[in-house]
Chain A
Amino acid sequence: MNRDLRFTALKKTPFHSRTSLASRTNKYYNWNGFTVPTEYSTTELEYTAARNGTSVMDLTPMCKYMINGSDANKFVDYLVTRDLSQMEDNTVAYIIWCNEDGKVMDDGTIFKFSNTKFMLCCAVKIYNWLHDSAEGFDVSFEDATDTTAALAIQGPTSCSTLKNYGADDLELLKPFGMKQYNINGYDVLISRTGFTGDLGYELWTDPANAENMWDSIMEAGKELKIRPFGMHALEMTRIEAGFIQTNTDFMAAEDSLRPVRMRSPYEIGMGWLVHLNKESYFVGKRALKKEKETGNSERCLVGLDIDGDKPAVGSVIYNEKKEDIGIVTAAMWSPTMKRNVALASLKRPYGIKIKENIFAEIYHPEELEYKKIWAKCKVVKRQFFSPERRNKVPADLYE
Chain B
Amino acid sequence: MSGNYDVIVIGAGHNGLVCANILAKKNRKVLICEARENCGGLVEESITNFVPQIPLSVSSSLGGLPVKYKAKSTIALSESGQHIRLVGNQHIDHKVISGFSSKDADRYVEFHDKMSSFSKALGSFMMASPPRIMNNTFSDYFKLFKLGMNVRMLGKKKFNEFARMIGLNIADELEDNFENTLLQGLIAHDAVLGSNLGPRSPGSLINLLYRMATHDNSIFGGIYEIDGGSKAFVDTLLDISNKNKVEIKTSSSVKRCITENDKAIGVELHSGEKIYAKKIISNADPRSTYFCLLGTENLDTDVKRRIKHHRSKGKVAKLSLSLNKQPEFINCDKNDLESRMVIAPSIDYIEEAFNPSKFDKLSMEPILEMKLKNSDQSNPVLDIQVQYASYGAQEGWDKIKDNYVDAVIKLIGKYAPDIQSCIETKTIVTPDDIEKNFYVSGGHWHHGEIQIDQLFMLRPIPGASQYRTHLDGLYMCGAGTHPGGGLTGIPGKNAAQAILEDA
Q: Which residues of the other chain, A, contact B295 by a CB distance below 8 angstroms?
A: 136
- Of the stretches A127-135, A242-250, A362-370, the one at the interface is A127-135
Closest Cβ of chain A: how far from B441's Cβ, in Å?
A: 14
CA distance A178 to B237 in the complex (A): 66
Residues of chain B with a CB closer than 8 A to A137's CB = 296-297
In the assembled complex, the Cα of A135 lies from the Cα of B307 at a distance in Å of: 11
| Segment of B113-121, B151-159, B298-306 in the binding face | B298-306
B262 proximal to A (CB < 8 A): yes
B302 lies within 8 A of A99 (CB): yes
Contacts A99-B301, A132-B301; A285 near B262 (Cβ below 8 A): yes
Chain B residue nearest in CB terms to A105: B301
Q: Closest CB of chain A to B501's CB: distance in Å?
A: 20
Q: Distance in Å from the Cβ of A129 to the closest Cβ of chain B?
A: 6
Any chain A CB within 8 A of the CB of B404?
no
Q: Contact: B262 with A100, CB < 8 Å?
A: no
**Any A CB within 8 A of the CB of B436:** no
- Is A283 close to B, CB under 8 A? yes
Residue of B262, B296, B300, B302 touching A136 (CB-CB under 8 A): B296
For residue A289, give the distance in angstroms from its CB to the closest CB of chain B.
8
* B297 and A132 contact, CB distance less than 8 A: no
Closest B residue to A71 using CB positions: B297
Q: Chain B, 289-333, contact with A by CB distance < 8 Å: what is the 0/1 string?
A: 001000111111111110010000000000000000000000000
Max count, chain B CB within 10 A of own CB: residue among A78, A100, A129, A132: A100
- The answer to whether A135 touches B304, judged by C-beta atoms less than 8 angstroms apart, is yes
Interface 0/1 of A263-287, CB less than 8 Å to B: 0000000000000000011011110
In the complex, residue of chain A having the shortest beta-carbon distance to the beta carbon of B259: A281
Closest chain B residue to A285, Cβ basis: B262
Q: Are B297 and A133 in contact (CB under 8 A)?
A: no
Q: Is A74 engaged at the interface, CB distance under 8 Å to the other chain?
A: yes
B298 touches A133 (CB 8 A): no
In this assembly, does B361 line the interface, its C-beta being within 8 Å of a C-beta of chain A? no
A133-B304 Cα distance, complex, nearest whole Å: 7
Question: Are the C-beta atoms of A281 and B297 separated by less than 8 Å?
Answer: yes
**Interface residue? B28 (CB, 8 A):** no
Judge whether A99 and B300 touch: CB under 8 Å.
yes
Q: Report A-chain residues with C-beta under 8 Å of the C-beta of B304.
A: 132-133, 135-136
- Best-surrounded residue of B291, B301, B302 (most CB of chain A within 10 A): B301
| Min CB–CB distance B486 → chain A (angstroms) | 30
Question: What's the Cα separation between A99 and B300 when bound, in Å?
Answer: 7
- Whether the pair B300, A100 counts as a contact (CB closer than 8 A) is yes
Closest residue of chain B to A100 (Cβ to Cβ) is: B300
User: 1/0 contact trace for B56-92 toward A, CB 8 Å?
Assistant: 0000000000000000000000000000000000000
Contact B301 A280 (CB under 8 A): no
Query: Contacting B300 at CB < 8 Å: which of A74, A280, A284, A289?
Result: A284
Q: Mark A113-136, 1 if CB is under 8 A from B, else 0.
A: 000000000000000010011011
**How many angstroms between the C-alpha atoms of A286 and B298 in the bound complex?**
10
Q: Complex formed: what's the CA distance from A281 to B262 in Å?
A: 8
Q: Which residues of chain A have C-beta atoms less than 8 A from B303's C-beta?
A: 100
Q: A135-B308, A281-B262, A285-B262 are in contact. Are A129 and B301 (CB under 8 A)?
A: yes
A135 engages B300 (CB within 8 Å): no
B470 within 8 A of A: yes
A281 to B302, CA, bound (A): 14
From DSSP, what is the main secondary structure of chain B's interface residues? helix
Contacts of A299-353 to chain B: CB distance below 8 A: none
Contact of A133 among B262, B301, B470 (CB under 8 A): B301
The interface bits of chain A over 75-99 (1 if a CB of B lies within 8 angstroms of the residue's CB, else 0) are 0001000000000000000000001
A185 CB, min distance to chain B CBs, angstroms: 42
Contact: B298 with A281, CB < 8 Å?
yes
CB distance from A287 to the nearest CB of B (A): 8
- Residue interface mask B450-483, A partner, CB < 8 A = 1: 0000000000000100000010000000000000
The residue among A136, A281, A286, A289 with the most chain B CB atoms within 10 A of its own CB is A281
Which chain A residues border B297 with CB–CB below 8 Å?
74, 78, 136-137, 280-281
A14 to chain B, nearest CB (A): 33
B contact residues around A136 at 8 Å (CB): 291, 295-297, 299, 304
A301 to B: closest C-beta gap in Å = 24
Chain B hits for A280, CB < 8 A: 297
Q: Which residue of B lies closest to A79 (CB)?
A: B301
Q: How far is the CA of A316 from the CA of B169 in the complex (A)?
A: 53
Complex Cα distance, B470 from A285, in Å, reads 12
User: Closest CB-CB distance, B247 to chain A, in whole Å?
Assistant: 31
Closest to B301 in A: A133
Contact B296 A135 (CB under 8 A): yes
Within 8 A of B (CB), among A43-82: 74, 78
Cβ distance B5 to chain A, nearest Cβ, rounded Å: 25
Q: Tell whether, in the assembled complex, residue A283 and residue B300 are in contact, meaning their CB atoms are under 8 Å apart.
A: yes
Q: State in angstroms the CA–CA spacing of A137 and B296 once bound together.
A: 8
Inter-chain contacts of B298 with A (CB < 8 A) = 281
User: Whole-angstrom distance between the alpha carbons of A209 and B175 in the complex?
Assistant: 70
Contacts of A284 in B (CB 8 A): 300
- Which residues of B sit under 8 angstroms from A100, Cβ to Cβ? 300-303, 463
**Which chain A positions have C-beta within 8 A of B305?**
132
- The complex places the Cα of A285 from the Cα of B308 at a distance, in Å, of 21
How far is it, in angstroms, between the C-alpha of A129 and the C-alpha of B302 when the chains are bound? Answer: 9
Interface hub of A99, A135, A280, A283 (most chain B Cβ within 10 A): A135
Residues of A within 8 A of B463 (CB): 100
| Chain A min CB distance to B265 (Å) | 15
* Residues on the A chain within 8 Å of B302, using CB: 99-100
A285 to B471, CA, bound (A): 12
Given contacts A78-B297, A99-B300, A136-B296, contact A286 B262 (CB under 8 A): yes
Smallest beta-carbon distance B297→chain A, Å: 6
Chain A residues with Cβ below 8 Å from B262 are 281, 285-286, 289
Bound: A63/B295 CA distance, A: 30
Most buried by B among A133, A284, A285: A133
- A100-B295 Cα distance, complex, nearest whole Å: 16
Q: How far is the CB of A306 from chain B (nearest CB, A)?
A: 39
In whole angstroms, how far apart are the Cα atoms of A259 and B476 in the complex?
A: 29
CB nearest neighbor in A for B305? A132
Instruction: Report A124-155 CB contacts with B as 1/0, cut-off 8 Å.
Output: 00000100110111000000000000000000
**Chain A residues with CB under 8 A of B299:** 135-136, 281
A74 to B295, CA, bound (A): 14
Q: Which residues of B sit under 8 angstroms from A99, Cβ to Cβ?
A: 300-302
CA distance A129 to B300 in the complex (A): 11
Q: Report the minimal beta-carbon distance from B289 to chain A, rounded to whole angstroms.
A: 14
Interface residues of B (CB under 8 A from A): 262, 291, 295-305, 308, 463, 470
Other A-B pairs beyond A135-B291, A286-B470, 12, CB < 8 Å: A129-B301, A132-B305, A132-B308, A135-B296, A135-B304, A135-B308, A136-B304, A137-B297, A281-B297, A281-B299, A283-B301, A286-B300
Interface residues of A (CB under 8 A from B): 74, 78, 99-100, 129, 132-133, 135-137, 280-281, 283-286, 289
The 10 sampled A-B contact pairs (Cβ below 8 Å) are A78-B297, A100-B302, A132-B308, A133-B304, A135-B304, A136-B295, A281-B297, A281-B299, A283-B300, A286-B470
Shortest Cβ-Cβ A-B pairs, 10 listed: A136-B296, A100-B300, A100-B302, A133-B301, A281-B298, A135-B304, A283-B300, A135-B296, A132-B305, A283-B301
